[in-house]
Amino acid sequence: MIDREAVAAYDRFWQSVPPNELPERVVRTGLRGRARVIVPTEPGPPVGERFDVVIAGGGPWGVLLGNLLAGRGHSILLLERNLTFRCGATWNVSRDELAALRATGVLPEGAWEALVTGEFDEGVFRLYDSAAAPPRQREYHFDEILNLSLDEDRFFAALTKRPGLSIRSGCTARLAAINRSEARVACADGTGERIVAARLYLDTTGWASPLAGIMTRDMDPESVYNMLGIRTATRLPRIANPATGRPLGLICATYENEIPSAAGPVQPILERFTDYVPDRHDGGDLVYYFTRTARPSPLAPLLDDMLARIPQVLDGFREEMAVKTYFGHGPAFHAPGPLARFRRRTSVGDRVLLAGASALQYSGLTGCAFGPLARNAAALAASIDLALRRNRLSFRHLCRIDIDPRERASQAVEGLFGGAMELAPGEAPGTVNRDWIAFAEAAEGLDPELKNEAFQDKIRLKTLNRLVGICAGRPGVVASVLRNNRGRLDLVVWTFVSAYVTLLYHEAMLFLGRRKTKYAVAGGRAVGALPAFAANVGRFYATGRAVKTRMAAGKKGAR
């Protein structure tokens, strides 16, 4: 059954997250950058136990990073406010992301493959479109997108048994104080509150974290994802691709008709993941319901709408088939412009590091935190390990710990299209889908490999060049991008150019550091493609100017 009380309890918890009560100030980072940091204080509350690292949040980020750090010899305390471990977000990866997880070495060879409960190659994105012929929808097919489903129960069972990793469930964490030598954390459970000390406090609690609120206070918010999900273990009819006869593993569906919410009107998206492995077993289905609003919306009131829509992607579904419920919020932010004063940081002070959703380490397009985790977990753990061993735990050092900078560039580009899910004030019903259709049609112009990269938030030099070129020739796409970025053509062009330069620089650095031919080849081709990229950006800019002129004329005529 749907766990309605758990969703209502989450709404109450999220709405009651206490504000930060620790002293903070704004510091300079670089020539123009600024960041909010928590100020160390003396003395702190009395301390009981001491650990190298205290991790708040027992989701996949916290558990995996705790394992990696414990494996490097550090004493770790992991605190989880729920009594059981669970994932609050999409639990699907693609084959290359599973390979990255396997390379971490936290499980024996073959153990990761044993966690795979579903595998598929084909998916479809269905966009309901009033301009299309009956059945009034458009379909875009893809493969290898989040096409492996992992068993979260086996994941947590396997990774919560590492020697050196102490775990306390049903226990909340609150940063009580920071001084020059340690962070002090208040751990509260049914028996009261105790203070523990750590050389480093690692926050993986998600967007509701007060510390994440400090970091994002001066950032420009674009919108917020509201997510609900259910898992069913019951076999239900499969939807097959008529062209191939193979089952569709991932089905996305968006709708034109808006629904009211506490945060304003929303247009929903449904995603169905099928745990299907040919000739092995059938593990049921996972269905997610996403909406996107200018501010967070309580989730409990959206449950009935989700349940009413699920039969459209899950034929034969009944509420009593649900065996697990998922829920949460996730933020999205506008890409920073060249003169942005406040930048995204992974630290909010000495001895305090944010990771996962707390650090906003995912793309604005999909809201999926696990792909970046899989691809970056080993490098993040190595950076944290080095900081601990060399005692480089000040904000100045910790704020440099980050995911692969190539992914940051990729996310900035994806973020330009991310506002397509938000029904902005004054937008008529159907605008969201027209934005999605514009982006999907642009992606259809890419070859399958590049299209997969674009949908996996993994844009590289060749993908970026082709994507800009395709968008430049489609005024509808350019209009969508401008509408969802406040009409700032300069911001969009800057993001394209800076992403290309960033990606090119890091391909060169990777070649110098690793001496692998593939980085030299990618960089060499990108240098040779610079004239074409410049031409594509120029065409995009010219198209954008023309689109802005038409949009301005349309607004003037409407008045």
Mean residue pLDDT across the chain: 81
The answer to whether the bond into 135 is cis (omega within 30° of 0) is yes
- Mean pLDDT is lowest, of 104-118, 305-319, 351-365, for 351-365
pLDDT at 90 over 80: no
Please tell me which residue, 557 or 409, carries the higher pLDDT value: 409
Count of CB atoms situated within 10 Å of the CB of 258: 19
Count of CB atoms situated within 10 Å of the CB of 498: 17
Residue pLDDT, tens place only, 262-312: 656 667 777 778 776 666 555 678 888 877 776 778 888 888 888 888 887
pLDDT at 367 over 50: no
> Which pLDDT score is estimated for 362?
47
Q: What is the mean pLDDT of residues 73-87?
A: 86
Please tell me which residue, 236 or 155, carries the higher pLDDT value: 155
If phi > 0 it is left, if psi is from -120 to 50 it is alpha, else beta; for residue 426 that is left
- Tokens 């990774």 belong to 159
Number of H helices and E strands in the chain, helices first, is 17, 20
Which H helix or E strand runs over 132?
none
pLDDT at 169 over 80: yes
Nearest-angstrom CA–CA distance, 183 and 422:
39
pLDDT band, residue 199 (cuts 50/70/90) = very high
Please say whether the beta carbons of 47 and 195 come within 8 A: yes
50-86: burial string, b at 16+ Cβ within 10 Å, e else: ebbbbbbbbbbbbbbbbbbbbbbebbbbbbbbeeebb
Q: CA angle, corner 252, sides to 248 and 258, nearest 5?
A: 150
- Mean pLDDT is lowest, of 75-89, 246-260, 435-449, 482-496, for 246-260
pLDDT band, residue 454 (cuts 50/70/90) = confident
Q: Which tokens hold the place of 354?
A: 């944010």
pLDDT at 421 over 70: no
pLDDT band, residue 385 (cuts 50/70/90) = very high
Q: What is the mean pLDDT of residues 252-262?
A: 69
Q: What is the mean pLDDT of residues 77-84?
A: 88
Please tell me which residue, 543 or 516, carries the higher pLDDT value: 543
Residue pLDDT, tens place only, 501-536: 999 999 898 888 888 888 888 889 999 999 999 999
Please say whether the beta carbons of 148 and 317 come within 8 A: no
Q: Which tokens hold the place of 367?
A: 């809201």
Q: CA angle, corner 497, sides to 419 and 35, nearest 5?
A: 65
> Which pLDDT score is estimated for 244?
83
Residue pLDDT, tens place only, 111-154: 888 888 878 778 888 777 766 666 677 787 777 777 888 888 88
pLDDT band, residue 316 (cuts 50/70/90) = confident
Q: What φ, ψ does residue 337 adopt, rounded to 5°?
A: -80, 180
pLDDT at 347 over 90: no
Please say whether the beta carbons of 59 and 158 come within 8 A: no
Q: What is the mean pLDDT of residues 348-375?
A: 69
Of 98, 187, 108, nearest to 147 (Cα)?
98
pLDDT band, residue 219 (cuts 50/70/90) = low
pLDDT at 14 over 80: no
Please tell me which residue, 338 or 12, carries the higher pLDDT value: 12
> Which pLDDT score is estimated for 256?
64
> Which pLDDT score is estimated for 344?
62
Q: What φ, ψ does residue 243 adopt, rounded to 5°?
A: -75, -30
> Which pLDDT score is estimated for 534?
96
> Which pLDDT score is estimated for 139?
81
- Mean pLDDT is lowest, of 190-199, 396-405, 490-499, 547-556, for 547-556
> Which pLDDT score is estimated for 452?
76
Please tell me which residue, 478 or 259, carries the higher pLDDT value: 478
Q: What φ, ψ does residue 8 adopt, rounded to 5°?
A: -65, -40
> Which pLDDT score is estimated for 365?
37
Q: What is the mean pLDDT of residues 97-110?
A: 88
Q: In sequence order, what DSSP letters do the residues of 49-76 get, joined into one string? A: -EEEEEEE--SHHHHHHHHHHHHTT--E
Residue pLDDT, tens place only, 21-67: 888 888 887 766 777 889 998 777 778 899 999 999 888 889 999 99
pLDDT at 360 over 70: no
Those residues with Cβ within 8 angstroms of residue 166's Cβ, 6 or more apart along the chain or in another chain: 51, 75, 76, 77, 78
Please say whether the beta carbons of 228 and 326 come within 8 A: yes
